[in-house]
Amino acid sequence: MAAVGTWSFSRPAVERMRCMLLAGQNATDVVETAVAEVEDDVDTGRHIVGRGGYPNFKGVVECDAAIMEGVPGRFGAVAALRGIAQPCRVARKVMEKSPHSLLVGDGAEAFAQELGFTSEANENMLSHHTATAYREFLEKNKPVAGGHDTIGLIALDLSGNITVGVSTSGAPFKSPGRVGDSPLPGCGLYADHTVGAAAATGDGDKIMCYCPSFHVVQLMKQGSSPNDACRAVLADIQRRIGDDKCFEIGLISLNMKGEVGAASSVEFPYTFWKQGLDSVEELVINQQKPLNI
């Protein structure tokens, strides 16, 4: 059993996952519950997740989320979803109830409503912090300070099931309808029950061009450790860009042995727990410098 999450603010979510895993719960239930609690917490919205997240340039919060099991073909996602505070729960319903794998915009909202989700007014999706940031953006064209957060969680349960989930409200003040890497399989997340899973965080418009989560899992499939796989994928991206000014990207991974790995182009704290540890731990990955190869 093991669990891992992106950024320091994932610690309560990973702690929740630890408790659920120790209670024998399924990896998908564990990931869905932990992600949903972060999504619905207005205080974590400033980390670009769910309720309290930053709106697009028209002032509307649009969320992307996805969930993927290691079992082949088990994936569901929503994008540009408005008015739903826990989009990861809708993504799971897409995986289980829809003939499609990805629903967007009005179609995603209609699907959610059909399954009993309540669409909330946009005002309820904003926090004081993000509403103020939006007013400053309109008045002063002031961008959001800081990096590209978003939540990514991976769980490996007692029965050997592995699931990864991601959620984000997307780039602050983005164009309406903009979708980043998070809900795209292979980009923001990927899982294979014979190998492990990975998730990405950072500049989604750039990340999606490299399918890093799929690449990490494939390298683990070829025998790399989670840490070596993450570092190799980041090094490959840096080489392909051709300079030392890589965009912001953080990667986490977990294999079926419960081993955890991470790599990042910036300082990147992540949290994890695995069987044998008494509590959730946090590690900080320093910026990975390009390799001269």
44 assigned to a ligand binding site: no
Give 79's strand partners. 104
228 assigned to a ligand binding site: no
157 assigned to a ligand binding site: no
Sign, CA torsion 226/166/147/281: negative
What's the CA gap between 206 and 249, in Å, rounded? 9
Active site residue 6: no
- Give me the count of residues in the chain: 293
179 assigned to a ligand binding site: yes
Active-site annotation holder among 28, 150, 163, 168: 150
Burial class (CB in 10 A: 0-12, 13-18, 19+), 45: buried
204 assigned to a ligand binding site: yes
Between strands 162-168 and 151-156, the pairing is antiparallel
What's the CA gap between 217 and 226, in Å, rounded? 8
Catalytic residues: 150
Q: Which residue ranges make up the annotated binding site?
A: 178-181, 201-204
Q: Which residue ranges make up the annotated binding site for substrate?
A: 178-181, 201-204
